[in-house]
Structure 1
Amino acid sequence: MQDGDDLSEMIAEIAEPRKAIERTFLEMGERLISGVKLLRTVSAAHEAMGAEFQGRDFLSVVGSVRALRDEVADIVGHLATDDTGIEQLAETIQRLKDPLDDLGNAVRMLGLIALNARVVAAGIDAGHEDLAAFVAEMTDIGRDARATVRSILGIHTRVCQTVASAQQSHLAFNREQAKIMATISERLRADLATIELQQGRAAAHAMRSGELTSAISARIGDAIAAMQIGDSTRQRLEHVEDILGSIRDRTDDDTEAMLFRLAAVQLASTNEDFVTEVGALSSALDGTRRDAEAVLEEGRERADEILADSSHALTALGKNLQSIVPLLQQDAEMRRAGRKLGEETADAMQEMLGQMDAIEATEHVVQLLRLNMAIRCTRLGESAHGLRVIAAELGAVAKSARSAATGMRQILSHLKHTVEAAREGAARFDVHEVNGDPMAAARLLEAVLGRVKQEAVTLKRAGPKTIGILDGAAERVRHCADGQEVWPDLISTLTAAAGERDFSALTVDLERLAAIRSRYTMHKERVIHDKACGEATVSSDCIDTHEEAGEDLDSLLF
């Protein structure tokens, strides 16, 4: 008979590892469940990143940039074909040169005629005082006319210079503006292509990462399911404890030997299965850990690449959008300059029209003077022949001056319409604007990338935590397996306590054996029980038939 203290010590050698196994596998299960949750967080972060590139804000950015690109391209087209009327204004003002020359010639001729009249009048005795008055008046008219023409020429020169300068500036501005705008349009096209590329990459990345993390989660789920070995081992060890506990309940020698034998084979089978299953679980966890690390690192790197490329696209987009603002400001300056030119030309036109009134009034006075001179010449008879010639020339000059003035007035009237066209052309610069704030798209994209960055932070935090959990679980499994080194010695002790005898010839307590068998929860325990105790010692209603019944019992012990 075995001493009670020895049995208690044997039971303790089983109970303590059983409790440790139970605690270890319970903690591992909780940690692995946490790992699955973290992987779900990782997968959700990848999906959220992909969703941001498919969301309303990002699509709004794409639409805004596309509209901006098209609007800038339209501005380029307008700049290439824009007609503000400045060129036509310059051509019209230039047309004043010929009638102005004619008018100048007529005025000069008026001065020469006045000089000739003075010479001729000096040779006529009769009416000398009247002739002197006519000559003086003619001289005054010529002087006033020359002053008027000089004023008109000054106005014309000033307007020509202003319009020529404006025309040169406008053409240079349009060329440079069109060149810059065309460059910005191409850059916006490239920016748009980049952010649209991120859209496709993010969607593909989210799908791939989701599939990979789901696969890893499934493998961890398999590991969690495999950890039922902890519960099955606990139950089997409890049953071995029950077998040893029943030995203390006044058993006979044969029954005691049979129970020691039964405890030995059950513990040996439990130990063998535990070592095998824990080894497989440890290997599976190590493999899952390596694969998870590779998957999570790949996902993080891809996310970082998308984020970096998108940030680069944001920087480029912001720079290109921001460059539109000063160009539009310069465009507005040119618009104001065009308006100012129109106003200045309109003022000059009014001033020149006023001078035309003076020229036309001069022509009227000259005609009256010519008529009076002709009357005087009639009274003087043949001695006034020279003055009659001068009077005729004076009429021709007056007619020439009037013709030149009429031509200039017609040109100035046309110039009025040209000025209005220039004003309208300057006003058309107003269409050289883009809808809304050019920087709004950049700010919206920045907001999208801000949320993407938060998801990237989640990936960087959740990934290492998941790897740490898998590392810890694998280490606990190995430690748990290494902690069962006492079992082989205990199996030998139990085998020795059973002794070497013919167990088929023993007379045992069948009811006690049947009661022990009834507490088994696994088929394998019943198969081992039947093999150890022998079918002859067990009632027929307790025997399970199974192919595993043929296992070699000695293989469980040795």
Structure 2
Amino acid sequence: MDVLNRLLNSLESVAKALDDKEASDTSADLRATVESLTALPVSEENRQQALILLAQTGRELRKHVADMQETMRYLRTFAVTVKITGAGLAEFAGFAQEILERIYSGTDEVNRFAAHLDSLEKEVKLAASFGVSVSKGYADTVPAVARALQDDAAKIAEHRKNLGVIAREVGAIARGVQSKVSSTLSALQIGDITRQRIEHVQATFSLLEDFLAGEDGARLDAGARQRLQNVVHHLTAAQMSDMCVNFQRESENVVKTIASFDYDMQEILKLRDQMGMESGEAGGNFMRALESSVSAADEIVKQVDAASRQADKVSHSTTRTAAKLSEAIANIRAVKTDIHYMALNTNLRCSRLGEAGKSINVVTAELRIFAGKLDESADAIVNGLPALEAAAGRVAPATDAAAGGLGESLTSAVGNIRSAANVMENELKVLAENGREVAAKIGLLIGKLDFQHELGDVLARCADVLEGVAGTDVADISDLAEAIAPLDRKIFKLYTMVQERNIHRDIIPAREESIPAPTETAKAENDDDLFADALF
């Protein structure tokens, strides 16, 4: 059993190495890699177009930023004019300085806005120049590498298919072996069952002797004692006869089942040889071809990863820049609002000053007009930000492989294939060793297993002797039912199998007042008895 279990474990490992899901996953990885490689020239061209569009969108935003910078220069000029014009008016001195500081603050925001765009334009130019150099090599190298990988994937699939067919045959035999093992284990219980039943027959004779030697037996006359002995002889003969039939049947099953293992082992070893041939030179060839193709693809994968990382960086940077621009626009609008209201407040003050405030009033009115132009530029930029973000999204890696994705996919596929090949090679060796060991042990066992000669014949002779002692007719002891009830109960309590109880009841019918019903007996039995009932 120990060797057989090792053999079944080897079969399970072989089956696992050929698991359809893993095989299909590996093939899918290779196919996905081939598709990704094949799509590289087109996807890189699309990415270049997206970078061009992103650069164009940035340039359009740059125009509006230039307009805002020009507007801020005008505002500074007007603010200085307000400061000069209102120099003679004490109540405008602090106000003029305050409005000038707000304009300087707005100018800083606009300049920061412009700096963000400058940084973005540099990244876009760098990514575009890098992408151009990468795409030039794709046209020559990608198609050949993709075709090689595709051929390798087809070879692997065919190899897996052939091995899978054999593995299913091995699996079918293995399942049959497992079923036979279960049957053998079940049949082997006949040894323990027979031992118990022999003990029960022996105990029955002992109980009869004790009963006849005791007070209850002393009350019986010679005829009654003889009739009781006759019935007990028939009872033990019936138990022994039934025991012999069961023993012969189950022991034959054990021998036949174990003998049939030999054929199963030979079939498994034949299939193992076939699998070994399939996984031998053929396996080495396709692994070498695959690794060669992967090596050729390695440089392309590195370029793809670099380009993808660069594009991904530009995409993320653009998204962050768009968020910063939105924040900057909000700050610029706040500056514009402050200038507008400060200028409006100045207009109201100037109205109360009469002629002295007219000159300042004219300048602050211009401030309000030009501050309003900031809104126009800000609105144009806000409207352009979604286009900037959309262009950034199109720049992100066009293939499904992120940074390192293609390389990881290839490495994973090759790793799975190599691992499966190694497992297959090792497990086939173990399978062969265990198979030969099982076959050898079965040969030795068959020569030794002769239950019928060693024990079956002895049991049969015992049964014949008991039947001879019992005779043909069973004595009538119905008039002794009450007197022998204690003996009946003790014998009945010996049994651990329903089959024994049924035979007993056929020979000695139960009396309600003296012998409990079988179900009641079961309740009275201990846990070991109940467990035996469950087994037998």
Shared topology, TM-score over 0.5? no
Sort the TM-score into its range (normalised by shorter chain): 0.3 to 0.5
TM-score, normalised with respect to structure 1 = 0.42
